[in-house]
Amino acid sequence: MDSHGKAVWAEMKDIIKYEYRIFNIFKGLFLILILPLMLVVSSFTLLPVFIGCIFYKVYQFAKKRPKVFFTILSFLVVICVLIFVFRGFLSVKLTLFMKYLKGLF
């Protein structure tokens, strides 16, 4: 290979390195910006479908076994009300009660 060929080959290698750096920059931007955005958009579009499927399954279960469904539902409502009461209104009294329990043991 003559000197001109070596110079062209060296310049081509520099261009390839430069293009490879640009490709890595775009690949990094894609992975950092576009891919998470696509995941968020796809999750927002699929979320109503999943929620609809869950509600439909619950509806089918409620039609098939209404007594069991209302028993489970009332149990969950009681748990939610108890959590709300103990966390919200009785938080001070509950901490005092817990200190009293610790003093007993």
Q: What is the pLDDT of residues 9-68, one digit of tens each?
A: 878 887 778 777 777 777 777 777 777 777 777 767 777 777 888 888 888 888 888 888
Provide the pLDDT for residue 1.
59
DSSP string, the chain: --HHHHHHHHHHHHHHHHHHHHHHHHHHHIIIIIHHHHHHHHHHHHHHHHHHHHHHHHHHHHHH-HHHHHHHHHHHHHHHHHHHIIIIITHHHHHHHHHHHHHH-
For the chain, domain boundaries: 1-64, 65-105
Examine the pLDDT at 105 and tell me if it is beyond 70: no
